[in-house]
Amino acid sequence: QKEVEQDPGPLSVPEGAIVSLNCTYSNSAFQYFMWYRQYSRKGPELLMYTYSSGNKEDGRFTAQVDKSSKYISLFIRDSQPSDSATYLCAFLSGSARQLTFGSGTQLTVLP
């Protein structure tokens, strides 16, 4: 079993839709939960991080963590064509320094 599972997509939605991106994980030591956005042939860009169960909101983005189910989500409201990218979930245990990434979900928002 892989430590992190992320649906690779591709996911295609119309402009203005609400997008839900998800990851599951198996490592109980993970304490920090991140979402990165990566445009084609660019480096990953940190969108949000959180360390507790519940929701964290930043503009059109909401990160949700359910530690009991080992499940995290990223919601994008009012999606825009500029949101078209690959979204990577990432995890960090308290003692570690390296991030463990999901394989990424490719999102296309159609105008």
Partner 1 sequence: DTGVSQDPRHKITKRGQNVTFRCDPISEHNRLYWYRQTLGQGPEFLTYFQNEAQLEKSRLLSDRFSAERPKGSFSTLEIQRTEQGDSAMYLCASSSGQGAYEQYFGPGTRLTVT
Q: Provide the binding-site residues for partner 1, judged by CB under 8 A.
A: 4, 6, 8, 32, 34, 36, 41-46, 49, 51, 88, 90, 92, 96-104
3-state secondary structure of 65: strand
25: its two tokens:
């994980």
Residue type, 106: Q
Q: Which is nearer to partner 1, 76 or 88 (CB)?
A: 88
Number of CB atoms found within 10 A of residue 37's CB: 21
Q: Which is nearer to partner 1, 76 or 102 (CB)?
A: 102
**Angstrom distance (rounded) from CA 108 to CA 99:** 25
Shortest gap between Cβ of 33 and partner 1 (angstroms)? Answer: 9
Q: SS3 for 101? A: strand
From the CB of 60, what's the least distance to partner 1, in Å?
21
**Closest distance to partner 1 from the beta carbon of 11 (Å):** 15
